[in-house]
Amino acid sequence: MREIVLDTETTGFEPAEGHRIVEIGAIELLNHMPTGRVYHQYINPERAMPKEAFDVHGLGDEFLRDKPPFAAVAAAFLDFIGADSRLVIHNAAFDMKFLNAELGWASLPIIAMDRALDTVAIARRKFPGSPASLDALCRRFAIDNSAREKHGALLDSELLAEVYLELIGGRQPDFGLSVDVGGPGQSAAESWRPGPRPNPLPPRLSAEEAEAHAAFVAGLGDAAIWKRFA
């Protein structure tokens, strides 16, 4: 299963007020494991960067001036996320409204909301009453976020990928997903469970190693545990 852990940085809180995306960071997961493929893009918002946004992101007008507008990078972004990969986002409603606003302004099809999996919602179900910010979850799972002096889309995506794997049960997601993510009204994406491997992996034991092991066991005598349970 392919998933995209995604984050955006913006000039403000509402696209309806003219605010725009200034950075997108995304990481590809395959069967809950990072593949090494990433998407990272700074974007010219074609408007002045408010001081409060600069204070959060550290991205100013001079830095963003020579970056492409969203319309120029939209095709590459859509190609990276694919047509049906699940989008893992912290506070998904925020990022999705900005992405779909930008896609609409570029006269491109919007992304269906049911593709997004909100890690804030998962964290609140798993730890009711506890803080669900990305920093708080990093502290809970002992994930090093010391480099997060400013909000950055790619760094936040990398941290979120680690948080997400912990939220769904660590490197063996079925241990936690069946208890904490499921529930009434869950989406098809949230109720996903890994199935059996369609084709067994080939053995990694060579014929020489098998023969050496058989000779070793033969020399242990009839009381060897390997013989009793053969």
CA-to-CA separations, 41 to 1, 11, 109, 111, in angstroms, rounded:
24, 15, 20, 18
Residues 48, 54, 59, CA angle at the centre, nearest 5°? 85
Q: Which of 190, 156, 189, 188 is nearest to 176 (CA)?
A: 190
CA-to-CA separations, 213 to 120, 140, 152, 209, 219, in angstroms, rounded:
51, 45, 53, 6, 10
Count CA within 13 A, CB hemisphere, residue 218.
6
DSSP SS3 for 5? strand
- H helices present in the chain, as ranges: 51-57, 61-64, 70-81, 92-105, 119-126, 134-140, 153-167, 174-180, 207-218, 225-228
**15 close to 28: Cβ distance less than 8 angstroms:** no
**6 close to 24: Cβ distance less than 8 angstroms:** yes
**Catalytic positions:** 151
